[in-house]
Structure 1
Amino acid sequence: MDNTLTAETGALGPEDRQQIDKVRPIPRISIQAFCETEAVASPIRRAGSDRRMAKAHLKVQMGGIKAATEHFQTAPTPNLVILESKLSPLDLIAELDVLADFCDPGSKVVIIGHHNDVALYRDLINRGISEYLVAPVSVGDVMTVIGGLFVAEGAEPLGRSIAFVGAKGGVGSSTIAHNVAWSISKLFSTDVVLADLDLAFGTANINFDQDPTQGIAEALQSADRIDDVYLDRLLAQCAEHLSLLAAPSVLDRTYDFEGDAFNALIETAQRGAPAVLLDVPHVWNEWTRTVLSRADHVVITAVPDLANLRNAKNLVDTLTKIRPNDVRPFLILNQLTMPKRPEISAAEFTEPLGLEPLGEIPFDPAVFGNAANSGRMIAETDVKHASVAVFHHVAHVLTGRGEAKKAKKPGLLERFRIKS
């Protein structure tokens, strides 16, 4: 029996259904498909309506690789790009090389071609293309390839974990983490999970005007059985692509944790969202040390005074030592040029750290205070404020998009492969 959709009923054949039944639910990824024929576009659209794709964001357009090239000149590439092409192998490679100049690192690419050519397949895989399918394709083919890339056993974690910590209390690390989370979700239309790890005094729920009944405390209490489904029930939706794992922010008990208490939670979040931002409180114990040592990136926020410099230096030295093969921590200087306050210049502050600031944010209590008191982000209250450009820049760098479209690459290998 045919395994494609029947014209009369629109039902799936048994082989197609058997394929789909093996696919686990797809995480919160963004997918854009650029097709040349309706015969390929139709099964992709049908795949998007499957219950296993409920969390994913899928958009199907016509025009093939040329349309994709034009689109991505001004728009970020999603987690997965699906391209249909009827071109010959040589012409296909040439068009992909043009497209590669506009693709962000970290995006996976699947090609649906019309040539059953083993040499072409090997060439594409060597260039960093994730998969090559030969048309015609079925709903089952589409679901299987997406599942294989993002949820199959042994697949790399989808999400990048980014930990924000202050060099001293009150330096604005949480505010920056929240605004950067907002920027990532808005700029790239990619799903972000923001986890407030300050269970006693966390402010993420206030800053986003949320009052969830459950959050990170429940996740930690059930760490031995936490999975994607359970985590979804605990997340509060702050925006279309931004979810919050809120802290209880009450003092009815103490919050003492083992060193690996947050590991399962963070790993589960990384399987379900492309970006996981961790708002880490300004304390130093076994679990904060573990969270910071395991994060993909660490961002230290500091105010330009001597105590911050000492603490930032200790943090940078310690994290560099326990993360010898990782990128060094990033530094954001906050609350600059406060009236009547003596401060260390940015050059003097950063010289002993051996770091260049990722961002510098001026002191502006009125704008930041109004945003906090109204439960909104700076970009929502004053889109032209200087800090918004800083948050956007930080979002680009931390997601690996900072240099994606500044320089041409000779081929697809560095563009389409995930970079650590």
Structure 2
Amino acid sequence: MTNLDYEIEQDPRQEAPEPVSERAEFDRIRPLPRISVHAFVESDGLAKTMERCAQDRRMAKVNLRINSGGVSAATNMFAGSPTPNLLILETRADARTLIGELGDLAEVCDPDTRVVVVGHVNDVALYRDLVRNGVSEYIVAPVSMADLIGVISAIFVDPEAAPLGRSIAFVGAKGGVGSSTIAHNCAWSISSLFSSEVILADLDLAFGTANLNFDNDPTQGIAEAVYSPDRLDEVFLDRLLAKCSEHLSMLAAPSMLDRTYDFSGDVFLPILDIIQRNAPVSVLDVPHVWTEWSRKVLCAADEIVVTATPDLANLRNTKNLFDTLRKLRPNDRQPLLILNQVGMAKRPEIAPDVFCDPLDIEPLAIIPFDAALFGEAANSGLMIGESAARSPVAEAMSQIAHVVTGRAEARKRKKAGLSSLMGLLGRK
């Protein structure tokens, strides 16, 4: 079968008005967040319905691609590439064949990808089998626009459901360790490697550098969201976001000192909540401060990445952060550690294994000191993956992106005795 394999552009033209009953159903559906959807269709009817769905305003933020073929076509396509947030699969196969095909698809499917099956058999037993096997929904053809958009909305917009997105907070153990640079590069890597929609929020309102690193100077950003909480909704958020690349948007900091930025404890939480409901991944660039609001942001994040350089002050601060966050988040995974600027000439350093010993962890990544590489990228407004795609640092950013999005596991710490540095920390 010929692969259609095209992306849908928003088209203001409508083929025909929807029936009154269907319009009433649409009135109850909220706009969908920034998600990627691949549909694999076997009939012209579903293909046309998907095309019309793409033209609906509720799908304006959705990156939709329509492909010809069924479950096996999806398995072949994603054997060598990441899967989107949602797969819509049309099939005419019988129950046994379908379950087998879905088993093959599961082997190449990312764990957080949702699946909707459009079948041609009204079979309650099949529906139950599919749900037991992890399928989010089974609907029987023919399906309408309201059916399809309603199903997607029920999966991703249900107000009772947990937020859609995964939030990843990056924070430095000390100022100047490169946490912001790593956060920005990681956000770009996630968006480009996985074609996943990412929102980067620069929470350092006074001295944020995201706009510089992306060579983008928007007139509005996160300050407007902070100081206008009553206006905060999907439409207002969309107006504040600056586009950095095809799948990456940014809430930039103003980087101006015309006012002070003294915040209450909960000021960023409504912003983070609406970001998570509008993008599968949100990267939070948290400045090196310890305030009520920064503590609450770190507590609310799904994943925390601490960046440190290999010296004693960084070790002390990192251990304090790890110990405090373990107490504040007893049921969450412990923070991840990145050792940055390792191997700086003439600087006395603590060896990575000695640094990690009192923390009882393995570093997520060890990034070498390379002033020329990072300086050239920063001055050009480019990410490392753009300016030096084949460099070891670019590969490290890719590995970080895989781990923080749950596509790979961090290395587990081998059992070892505590370092004598524990004594040094106790005396400081």
Residues 1:200 and 2:218 aligned together: no
Q: Distance in 1 between matches of 2:370 and 2:164?
A: 36
1:250 CA drift (Å): 1.2
1:9 CA drift (Å): 5.8
Question: Residue 255 of structure 1 aligns with which residue?
Answer: 261
Question: Residue 135 of structure 1 aligns with which residue?
Answer: 141
Per-residue deviation, residues 40-69 of structure 1 (Å, max 9, x unmatched) = 222112111111101100001011001000
1:16 CA drift (Å): 2.6
Q: What SS does structure 2 have at the residue aligned with 1:260?
A: coil
Within the candidate set 222, 226, 242, 2:232 is matched to 226
Task: Map 1:97-176 to 2 at 5 A.
Answer: 97-176=103-182
Report the AA paired with residue 320 of structure 1.
Answer: R
Confirm or deny: 8 A CA contact 1:28 1:272 kept in the other structure: yes
1:140 CA drift (Å): 1.3
Confirm or deny: 8 A CA contact 1:172 1:334 kept in the other structure: yes
Over aligned residues, Cα RMSD in angstroms?
1.2
**TM-score normalised to structure 2 length:** 0.91
Q: Distance in 2 between matches of 1:175 and 1:242?
A: 15
**TM-score normalised to structure 1 length:** 0.92
Q: Distance in 2 between matches of 1:329 and 1:90?
A: 43
Q: Distance in 1 between matches of 2:376 and 2:240?
A: 28
Question: Residue 349 of structure 2 aligns with which residue?
Answer: 343
Per-residue deviation, residues 123-144 of structure 1 (Å, max 9, x unmatched) = 1112221100011111111111
Residues 1:48 and 2:54 aligned together: yes
1:155 CA drift (Å): 2.5
Question: Residue 271 of structure 1 aligns with which residue?
Answer: 277
Q: Distance in 1 between matches of 2:161 and 2:322?
A: 31
Within the candidate set 311, 320, 326, 2:332 is matched to 326
Q: What SS does structure 2 have at the residue aligned with 1:288?
A: helix
Per-residue deviation, residues 91-119 of structure 1 (Å, max 9, x unmatched) = 11011001100000111100111111111
Question: Residue 393 of structure 1 aligns with which residue?
Answer: 399
Structure 1's 340 and 149: CA in aligned 2 closer, same or farther, altered over 3 A?
same
1:76 CA drift (Å): 0.6
1:177 CA drift (Å): 0.1
- List gaps (5 residues or longer) in structure 1: 1-7, 404-420
Q: Distance in 2 between matches of 1:370 and 1:35?
A: 46
Q: What SS does structure 2 have at the residue aligned with 1:76?
A: coil
Question: Residue 77 of structure 1 aligns with which residue?
Answer: 83
Per-residue deviation, residues 311-350 of structure 1 (Å, max 9, x unmatched) = 0000011001100011110000101111111111111111
Question: Residue 373 of structure 1 aligns with which residue?
Answer: 379
Runs (4+) of structure 1 moved beyond 3 Å?
8-11
Question: Residue 423 of structure 2 aligns with which residue?
Answer: none
Q: Distance in 1 between matches of 2:110 and 2:377?
A: 31
- List gaps (5 residues or longer) in structure 2: 1-13, 410-428
Q: Distance in 2 between matches of 1:320 and 1:224?
A: 34
Question: Residue 414 of structure 1 aligns with which residue?
Answer: none
Question: Residue 189 of structure 1 aligns with which residue?
Answer: 195
Confirm or deny: 8 A CA contact 1:150 1:156 kept in the other structure: no
- Relative contact order, CA 8 A, sep 6+: which one is greater? 1
Q: What SS does structure 1 have at the residue aligned with 2:230?
A: coil
Confirm or deny: 8 A CA contact 1:150 1:158 kept in the other structure: yes
Aligned residues: 396
